[in-house]
Chain A
């Protein structure tokens, strides 16, 4: 629109100027011609000392020739063919030029009328004659032309604007709409579609877009359903495995009690059976746990937990007392004791397995929160394996059969995160490994622990207590 407007304006402007120039110079040429002729006539009509009769005769002749005002001065007298225009109205600079003998002209205005004054000297007659040619009509016509051009320009500009708006509406809006639709699709609103309102390229574009969106929606829905089915399957499988597994575990546990009484050939297979049943049970348990964590079906308990006693209880209940050293004072926080137990038991179990002897557990608090640090002096983890230790089923040494399910650390990390914490690992080949479980402590610690106990309906005004 701007382009159209500017070019139209330039065109109109330049045309007007050209025409104006032409008309004006045209007027000058004609007037000059007329003036030359008039001067010759004056030379023929006037004597060396023009008399009034000669002047009147001349003026008469002029009248027959055209419509212009003649103003003259002979030396003795000044005369004019009109009452309104006199010698006084002759511009002085024109007078001076004419005095040099040149035929000159100048434009001037007298009583609101625009004239082109052409002046010249009649040779040997001592008379200067000035002819006032009215250019009123000329200027009026130019003004008209100018107005017409301006109006035309305005109309053109308006038209261009209108056309621009219409065009924009036709192209820019559908384009904007399509971009918005693409964006909303990308953000996951798979039901996004474009309305098909036209039969032109935009309509076709909208139709293709919709086709694509449809396909995308179908694919993604299918994928999510497949994923959900898979998750349900894993959960169902693990659940279904529970029953035969329960029988197996109970049976294996009874065999385990009878190992000494078995005949030699039966004892070893029975031992292996017991161990393998335990392994299977752990694996199924881990699978169920991981599928529950993935499905987000986890319930968190909130209790006051003293990390030190928890760790101590874990070590004692698994009879690891001889091989695990626990350091650290009372660290009480609000958390889920069962999950904590799982995490810590896994870390210590791993440490014992890979480290063998002298696993050190340190419980404490630092600027960030509470922590449980499990350090072993085992072979360590290779740097290339280190970022993968928390992956599912990741085996640092594929050849080696580990008693674990391969999910232990993955579950431990998930659980840690669920509790608002994290686990980090440090290791050096040949020196050992340290896993640190970090937990947030949201309430300030006191000697006994946080003030709020989640299980109680009532409240004590004063806290009493001695341990028995």
Chain B
């Protein structure tokens, strides 16, 4: 509780009501009206979550996302205008963990925020996992290959953890959306696909020929202990 949230949104009304809603839900909210200000705020104070509008003046949401990702693994939720287009995928590819389309109902945003924060929580009770040179430490929230820290975002980490907990088990996208992203119904499977893509980019030697995270055609994904 009391996590610090950075809200970057240019419209004053949306900013105000979102702040109110998040505050009511128990978060501590800092706001910024544009991308540049948002980055300044971000570098000033540590935040637990960033809620980022895509269409921003000064510096657009994607650039902010990219910049933040260069320095941090903090969970990022995008506020996007429509889900139909490529916008969402671009944001996800840049490292956002989830997205909410406008207009949104407050409870929905709060649920996404809580889910993102839960992902970012370490689970010390969970056992270490080791598969070959891959080492996953749920308590330390780190994953490494050999001596290299994989530098995964919370979402990527949780995804890897979920898959690696049951090697050989095939997970459908729906299942992963539920387990990792907390979507009850009709989540966007692109969330899973892009996250797997990013994960492969960090974990695998050759993302095009993955050794660990395999695709099962027509079904979903599977972790191979190899």
- A residues neighboring B (CB under 8 Å): 239, 242-254, 256-257, 281, 288, 292, 298-299, 303-304, 309-310, 313-314, 316-317, 337-338, 341, 446, 448-453, 455-460, 463-468
Is the beta-carbon distance between A281 and B103 smaller than 8 angstroms? yes
What are 12 contact pairs spanning A and B, CB under 8 A? A250-B18, A250-B109, A304-B218, A316-B185, A317-B184, A338-B188, A450-B218, A452-B217, A453-B217, A460-B214, A460-B215, A468-B169
- Name the A residues within 8 Å of B47 (CB-CB): none
- Name the B residues within 8 Å of A288 (CB-CB): 82
- Name the A residues within 8 Å of B18 (CB-CB): 250
Is the beta-carbon distance between A298 and B17 smaller than 8 angstroms? no
Query: 8 Å CB contacts to A: which residues of B140-188?
Result: 166, 168-172, 174-175, 184-186, 188
Query: 8 Å CB contacts to A: which residues of B50-100?
Result: 81-86
Given A299-B85, A466-B170, do A247 and B13 touch, yes or no (CB 8 Å)?
A: yes
Q: When A and B form their complex, which 5 residue pairs have the shortest distance between CB atoms, in order from nearest?
A: A253-B105, A247-B13, A249-B103, A317-B185, A456-B215
Q: Does B14 contact A (CB under 8 A)?
A: yes
- Closest-by-CB residue of A relative to B11 is A243
- Name the B residues within 8 Å of A304 (CB-CB): 218
Is the beta-carbon distance between A458 and B214 smaller than 8 angstroms? yes
Is the beta-carbon distance between A246 and B83 smaller than 8 angstroms? no
Is the beta-carbon distance between A299 and B84 smaller than 8 angstroms? yes
Given A337-B189, A458-B214, do A464 and B222 touch, yes or no (CB 8 Å)?
A: yes
- Name the A residues within 8 Å of B184 (CB-CB): 316-317
Report A186 CB to chain B, min CB distance, Å: 38
Is the beta-carbon distance between A254 and B219 smaller than 8 angstroms? no
Is the beta-carbon distance between B17 and A457 smaller than 8 angstroms? no
- Name the B residues within 8 Å of A453 (CB-CB): 215, 217-219
Q: Does B210 contact A (CB under 8 A)?
A: yes
Q: Does B193 contact A (CB under 8 A)?
A: yes
Is the beta-carbon distance between A247 and B11 smaller than 8 angstroms? yes
Is the beta-carbon distance between B103 and A458 smaller than 8 angstroms? no
- Name the B residues within 8 Å of A243 (CB-CB): 11, 13-14
- Closest-by-CB residue of A relative to B84 is A299
- Name the A residues within 8 Å of B13 (CB-CB): 243-244, 247
Bound-state CA distance A250–B176 (Å) is: 28
Is the beta-carbon distance between B210 and A458 smaller than 8 angstroms? yes
Is the beta-carbon distance between B166 and A254 smaller than 8 angstroms? no
Bound-state CA distance A341–B174 (Å) is: 15
Given A458-B215, A463-B216, do A246 and B189 touch, yes or no (CB 8 Å)?
A: no
Given A244-B13, A313-B186, A314-B186, do A250 and B217 touch, yes or no (CB 8 Å)?
A: no
Is the beta-carbon distance between A449 and B186 smaller than 8 angstroms? no
- Name the B residues within 8 Å of A256 (CB-CB): 105
- Closest-by-CB residue of A relative to B210 is A458
Q: Does B209 contact A (CB under 8 A)?
A: yes
Question: Per-residue CB proximity of B206-226 to A under 8 Å, as 1/0?
Answer: 011110001111110010000
- Name the B residues within 8 Å of A254 (CB-CB): 17, 20-21, 24, 106
User: Which residue from A251, A309, A467 sits with its C-beta under 8 Å from B17?
Assistant: A251
- Name the B residues within 8 Å of A451 (CB-CB): 217-218
Report B74 CB to chain A, min CB distance, Å: 23
- Closest-by-CB residue of B relative to A345 is B186
Bound-state CA distance A304–B217 (Å) is: 10
Q: Does B43 contact A (CB under 8 A)?
A: no
User: Which residue from B83, B106, B166, B171 sits with its C-beta under 8 Å from A338?
Assistant: B83
Bound-state CA distance A453–B208 (Å) is: 15
Bound-state CA distance A457–B214 (Å) is: 10
Bound-state CA distance A122–B122 (Å) is: 160
- Closest-by-CB residue of B relative to A301 is B190
- Name the B residues within 8 Å of A281 (CB-CB): 103
- Name the A residues within 8 Å of B215 (CB-CB): 453, 455-460
- Closest-by-CB residue of B relative to A461 is B217
Bound-state CA distance A254–B105 (Å) is: 8
Q: Does B131 contact A (CB under 8 A)?
A: no
- Name the A residues within 8 Å of B170 (CB-CB): 464-468
Bound-state CA distance A314–B184 (Å) is: 11
- Closest-by-CB residue of A relative to B106 is A253
- Name the B residues within 8 Å of A463 (CB-CB): 216-219
- Closest-by-CB residue of B relative to A278 is B105
Bound-state CA distance A257–B189 (Å) is: 29
- Name the A residues within 8 Å of B174 (CB-CB): 309
Given A242-B102, A244-B13, A247-B13, do A253 and B217 touch, yes or no (CB 8 Å)?
A: no
Is the beta-carbon distance between A250 and B84 smaller than 8 angstroms? no
Is the beta-carbon distance between B218 and A449 smaller than 8 angstroms? yes
- Name the A residues within 8 Å of B214 (CB-CB): 458, 460
Bound-state CA distance A310–B81 (Å) is: 24
- Closest-by-CB residue of B relative to A254 is B106
- Closest-by-CB residue of B relative to A247 is B13
Given A452-B217, A456-B215, A463-B219, do A246 and B171 touch, yes or no (CB 8 Å)?
A: no
- Name the A residues within 8 Å of B84 (CB-CB): 292, 298-299, 338
Bound-state CA distance A256–B24 (Å) is: 14
- Name the B residues within 8 Å of A449 (CB-CB): 218-219
Bound-state CA distance A239–B219 (Å) is: 37
Bound-state CA distance A325–B159 (Å) is: 34
Bound-state CA distance A448–B172 (Å) is: 11
Bound-state CA distance A304–B219 (Å) is: 9
- Closest-by-CB residue of A relative to B208 is A457
Is the beta-carbon distance between A247 and B14 smaller than 8 angstroms? yes
- Closest-by-CB residue of B relative to A248 is B103
User: Which residue from B17, B82, B189 sits with its C-beta under 8 Å from A250?
Assistant: B17
- Name the B residues within 8 Å of A460 (CB-CB): 214-217
Report B117 CB to chain A, min CB distance, Å: 20
- Name the A residues within 8 Å of B11 (CB-CB): 243, 246-247
Bound-state CA distance A281–B103 (Å) is: 8
Bound-state CA distance A455–B162 (Å) is: 20
Given A246-B14, A250-B104, A253-B107, do A303 and B189 touch, yes or no (CB 8 Å)?
A: yes
- Closest-by-CB residue of A relative to B21 is A254
Query: 8 Å CB contacts to A: which residues of B89-140?
Result: 102-109
Known: A245-B103, A316-B184, A453-B215. 11 other contacts (CB 8 A): A242-B81, A254-B21, A299-B85, A303-B189, A309-B174, A310-B186, A446-B218, A458-B208, A465-B170, A465-B216, A466-B170
